Chain A
Amino acid sequence: AQSVAQPEDQVNVAEGNPLTVKCTYSVSGNPYLFWYVQYPNRGLQFLLKYITGDNLVKGSYGFEAEFNKSQTSFHLKKPSALVSDSALYFCAVRDMYPSGGSYIPTFGRGTSLIVHP
């Protein structure tokens, strides 16, 4: 079975400061990991993914995430937050070779990021 946890409902950060949105996962094998962002009344937009290779993944809008296998984490980061980054962020995981043949990713419950001017 696969699962993902976003331990924070909300993250508050001042504009210009670095931000981190946390995500931990559990899979039986190797993971595929994703981050998505959702602006109000919109669908989700793909930010970045980890499939294999470098543990540090760079994505859209200056975001990056670091895959840490020992800590089973995939935290989303940005060096300098913008007010426009305020949105709902979702982490998702999928087992690379799922048993039973299901390739459906599991989504976290979402973390609301609020960047204050």
Chain B
Amino acid sequence: GAVVSQHPSRVICKSGTSVKIECRSLDFQATTMFWYRQFPKKSLMLMATSNEGSKATYEQGVEKDKFLINHASLTLSTLTVTSAHPEDSSFYICSASSRQWEGDTQYFGPGTRLTVL
């Protein structure tokens, strides 16, 4: 099956610093990448959707200036949490999909655990 990687898997940072998370589709070209946030024992919260070469579409309530998303190529998207604060601590998961006529099966990365001190 399709493989999506995320890096880093875990990051601990001080309040006020910025953190970049990379999401890569390893064996397919992703027309669309998604960024989710997951709270403990909770469902996924879609943060934004990005298509290669265009600006990301953010969900309501997600601050685009705080969560910067770049989808520079068909295999790479990055999420930068700027000026991170403890309330940004969470599990961030990316997913990628290709070709809408496959039903948009999403393939998920392993997730990144962010802890802001």
Q: Do A and B come from one complex?
A: yes
- Point out residues on A near B: beta carbons under 8 Å: 32, 34, 36, 41-46, 49, 51, 90, 92, 94, 103-105, 107-110, 112
In the complex, chain B residues whose CB is within 8 Å of the CB of A46: 1, 105-108
Instruction: Tell me, in angstroms, the Cα distance from A26 to B51 when the chains sit together.
Output: 26
CB of B40, distance to nearest CB on chain A (Å): 11
From B42-50, B62-70, B73-81, B82-90, the one touching the partner chain is B42-50
**Range of interface residues on chain B?**
20 to 34
Q: Is the CB of B111 within 8 A of A90?
A: no
Residue pair B100, A103 in contact (C-beta under 8 Å) = yes
A-B contact count (CB 8 A): 58
Q: In whole Å, how far is B13's beta carbon from the nearest beta carbon of chain A?
A: 18
**Given A36, A45, A94, A110, which contacts B104 in the complex, CB threshold below 8 Å?**
A94
**Distance in Å: Cβ of A58 to nearest Cβ of chain B:** 15
Instruction: Report whether B108 and A44 are in contact in the complex, using a CB–CB cutoff of 8 Å.
Output: yes
- Contact residues of B between 92 and 106, Cβ < 8 Å to A: 93, 95, 100, 102-106
Whether B43 and A110, one on each chain, are in contact in the complex, defined by CB atoms closer than 8 angstroms, is: yes
Cβ–Cβ contact B103 & A43, under 8 A: no
A/B interface sample: 18 pairs, CB < 8 A = A32-B104, A34-B106, A36-B108, A41-B113, A42-B110, A42-B111, A43-B4, A43-B109, A46-B1, A49-B105, A51-B103, A90-B43, A92-B106, A94-B104, A103-B104, A105-B104, A105-B106, A110-B42
